[in-house]
Structure 1
Amino acid sequence: MSTLQRAKVQAKAHPLAVDAVLAAGVLACMVAGSFVEPRHRDTVNWVLRTPDPLSLVLMVLGAAALVFRRRAPMTVLALTGTFSVIESVTGDPRAPVAMSAVIALYTVASTTDRPTTWRVGLLTTTVLTGAAMAAGPLPWYAQENLGIVAWAGIGATAGDAVRSRRAFIQAIRERAERAERTREEEARRRVAEERLRIARDLHDVVAHHIALVNVQAGVAAHVMDKRPDQAKEALAHVREASRSALNELRATVGLLRQSGDPEAPTEPAPGLDRLDELAGTFRNAGQRIEVARTDQGTALPAAVDLAAYRIIQEALTNVQKHAGPHAKAEVSVVRVGPNIEITVLDDGSGEDADPGSGGGHGLLGMRERVTAVRGTLTTGPRYGGGFRVHAILPVKNRTPTGEDPA
């Protein structure tokens, strides 16, 4: 830290001492000015003179008042202004006490707003100049009287400039702090969104494949003794489902790796192009599924395509877990205007026909995915039994105002 910086730190830590030093300096200048006077009006020759005792007393009082200029700037200005008026009217016509009033006016201007500076500055200048012109021993047009106007204007202008600079620096500092807080909040928001997305993917992958493994393992255990060939086939489906689960988990968890990790997954996210493959995994588990599509040729954004796939996957997983062993599922993907509609129906009559009654995160995850792409989701029991999942997703990404980007 440089000497100047250390001095600034010490000055901020001891403002009263700084004001005391300033008051001593102002007093010295006023006393020095009171000992000289011009010999002739049209020359610059100067001679020593004896200062008036009353003027010396007023100088000391005015300088002493400046020690408290930060604590009560208006009061100090009123006191120094009063001392200046008294000196101008009764003392020898040099008016050195006005220097303390100028310093006090500077303090008021640097600590208040501009309108207050204008009002107080005009009032101070008018009172000091008017008193010197009207009641002073010199003619009203004397340069000593007019000099008060100049010095008062300099004090007010300098104080206003200092105040403006402080306000400007403070505004820059606050703007920088606000920008830093905004960046931190945005970073936290993005981290939270990424965690939520990864949690949804993990839930969808684990719930789907574990449900299939559970069903096939139950089938294998049931037919192991009487039909070992069928049990072998069921175990093969268990192995395939577990392998698929591991692959998808590896791809999802790979998102948590560092950006420079060479083992980061490069496989694209699943979409509706893998719908037949998805339905096949459930059919292998013994579930009856019918798929109807009238969206051929529709190109979906990656986020919408992934959301559609995951919604169907979660809905069929719920059918597998909740609708009963003999339930039939119907999946339809239809293009309707600017949207694509996903519908999954089942006629299950299981005891837990409502997937939302289990306290899981399946329906919540579907709703979050649909909301993320600005779509709508409707779920609920069907009349006569079963459950219905209906999602409407936009074919194109939309801006926050709901309009298609140009």
Structure 2
Amino acid sequence: MTGLVEYAERHPWLTDAIVVAALLGSGVLGVHLVGPGDSRPEDVWVADAVTVVACLAVFGARTHPRATVVVTTVCAVVGGGLGFLLTPLLLAPVMVALYWLAVTTTSRTAWTYGAVTIVLVVGTAVGADIDETVALRSVGPALWLVLPLVMGSRSRLRDALLDAVRARAEHAERTRDDEARLRVTEERMRIARDLHDVVAHHLAVANAQAGTAAHLLRRSPELTQKVLADLQTTTSAVMLELRDTVGVLRNGGADEDGLEPAPGLARLPELIEACASAGLTVDVEVDGEPRELPAGIDLTAYRIVQEALTNATKYSASGSASLRLGYGARLIIAVANETRPGDPGAGRPGYGIVGMRERAHAVGGDLRVSDAGGRFEVVSSLPLHTPAATP
């Protein structure tokens, strides 16, 4: 059945030709049909001609439904006026025209034309003879003409529903593709931030340690040996973290037994010690009562401090930096260091500052950077609780 419907939709002219041929056969039969006790009206050839015109007009029902309804209605009224019985056989062209009118136009237009057609046809069928058969002669044609209007309206609503479903499906497909691309972009940015945080910090510390070792090599071999040992520890740490990161990317997941917990503010002493081995003295000040933070905010706070101290290691003019942690309504992180006048690298917005700002915004915080009066400062405000996801 579905294949027949699809074939009819692909070959509308052939379908219309078959329908018109069937209408011609039924119309001619209706013209020559005579009720019991009735005589055949004269001018049969006129009725046959009118029937042929009405049937041929159906060819235009798809493209010109209003005109087709008018032509077929006039032909039916003429046939009824000549005294022929308006059976469904003679009303079939009008019924087909009303069906296509209901399918292709608005409901208001279809029922307006339909009401006028029903009044004209029923009025012709009843005529001036008011007897006991008037109800039969009026109700019958009216019901036959209402039927195609109802079927056509139902078909139009069904097609509209199918179009809406297809449109929603296409929109969902486009949305899914856009969401997938957005997720890929966000994941790429997250990986870039993680790699930068891991590699930039350790390499900056390693570079400072190597410079310190070269400076102390002849004057203090023992201290040089300690600095080189710290350098080895730093390079080992970066290799391990890079191995873990690449392993997650290659395997699509992580081995829970082989991963350490994500770093947080609890590892600040290790971070400050690494900076000290690179020649940066960090003065730490804590305001308020430290408290346990959600894992995401704890990691964000650690990465912001790590990147800020990495910048201080590279650009501090005095070899020192200050770190202030304030626990109040929000977590305030402030890292400051003196800069060398005319240093092109100090304060220049790079990937590190961009990454810190993105991390802060991702958890509902903010970050600002100032570079004035020979002092470079990074200040971030983070919530103490993970913000609720919006639906």
TM-score normalised by L of structure 1: 0.87
| Corresponding position of 1:390 | 379
Q: 1:264 to 1:166 in 2, by over 3 A?
A: farther
Distance in 2 separating the partners of 1:260 and 1:371: 26
Residue 363 (1) aligns with residue 348 (2): no
Deviations 1:66-99 (A, max 9, x none): 1221111112111111211222223523364322
1:213 Cα deviation from its structure 2 partner:
1.3
Counterpart of 2:340, as a letter, is S
Distance in 2 separating the partners of 1:194 and 1:136: 84
Distance in 2 separating the partners of 1:373 and 1:350: 35
Q: 1:313 to 1:261 in 2, by over 3 A?
A: closer
- Aligned ranges 1:41-60 → 2 under 5 Å: 52-60=44-52
1:262 Cα deviation from its structure 2 partner:
4.8
Distance in 2 separating the partners of 1:264 and 1:179: 39
Distance in 2 separating the partners of 1:322 and 1:137: 109
2:326 pairs with one of 320, 323, 334: 334
1:373 Cα deviation from its structure 2 partner:
0.7
5+ residue gaps in structure 1? 42-46
Q: 1:224 to 1:121 in 2, by over 3 A?
A: same
Q: 1:264 to 1:58 in 2, by over 3 A?
A: farther
Counterpart of 2:23, as a letter, is V
DSSP-derived class of the 1:24 partner: helix
Distance in 1 separating the partners of 2:376 and 2:56: 89
1:387 Cα deviation from its structure 2 partner:
0.7
1:32 pairs with one of 29, 32, 41: 29
Q: 1:175 to 1:285 in 2, by over 3 A?
A: same
1:395 Cα deviation from its structure 2 partner:
0.3
1:361 Cα deviation from its structure 2 partner:
0.6
Counterpart of 1:399, as a letter, is A
Counterpart of 1:248, as a letter, is E
1:146 Cα deviation from its structure 2 partner:
3.3
5+ residue gaps in structure 2? none
Counterpart of 1:10, as a letter, is Y
2:342 pairs with one of 351, 365, 371: 351
| Corresponding position of 1:374 | 364
| Corresponding residue pairs, total | 390
Counterpart of 1:368, as a letter, is E
1:260 Cα deviation from its structure 2 partner:
6.3
1:243 Cα deviation from its structure 2 partner:
1.0
- Aligned ranges 1:73-84 → 2 under 5 Å: 73-84=65-76
DSSP-derived class of the 1:340 partner: strand
The answer on whether the counterparts of 1:77 and 1:101 sit within 8 Å (CA) in structure 2 is yes
Counterpart of 2:221, as a letter, is P
TM-score normalised by L of structure 2: 0.90
Q: 1:49 to 1:258 in 2, by over 3 A?
A: farther
Counterpart of 1:23, as a letter, is V
The answer on whether the counterparts of 1:354 and 1:387 sit within 8 Å (CA) in structure 2 is no
Counterpart of 2:170, as a letter, is E
Distance in 1 separating the partners of 2:49 and 2:274: 104
Distance in 2 separating the partners of 1:56 and 1:139: 30
Counterpart of 2:56, as a letter, is A
Higher relative contact order (CA 8 A, sep 6+): 2
| Corresponding position of 2:310 | 317
Q: 1:88 to 1:122 in 2, by over 3 A?
A: same
The answer on whether the counterparts of 2:122 and 2:137 sit within 8 Å (CA) in structure 1 is no
Residue 255 (1) aligns with residue 248 (2): yes
Bigger drift between 210-219 and 124-133 goes to 124-133
Distance in 2 separating the partners of 1:257 and 1:229: 42
Distance in 1 separating the partners of 2:104 and 2:248: 55
The answer on whether the counterparts of 2:363 and 2:382 sit within 8 Å (CA) in structure 1 is yes
Q: 1:321 to 1:303 in 2, by over 3 A?
A: same
DSSP-derived class of the 2:222 partner: helix
Bigger drift between 131-140 and 66-75 goes to 131-140
- Aligned ranges 1:223-262 → 2 under 5 Å: 223-259=216-252, 262=255
1:116 Cα deviation from its structure 2 partner:
2.2
| Corresponding position of 1:44 | none
Counterpart of 1:13, as a letter, is R
Distance in 2 separating the partners of 1:249 and 1:296: 34
Q: 1:85 to 1:36 in 2, by over 3 A?
A: closer
- Aligned ranges 1:189-204 → 2 under 5 Å: 189-204=182-197
Bigger drift between 109-118 and 205-214 goes to 109-118
DSSP-derived class of the 2:34 partner: strand
1:11 pairs with one of 5, 8, 11: 8
Distance in 2 separating the partners of 1:235 and 1:81: 103
The answer on whether the counterparts of 2:333 and 2:379 sit within 8 Å (CA) in structure 1 is yes
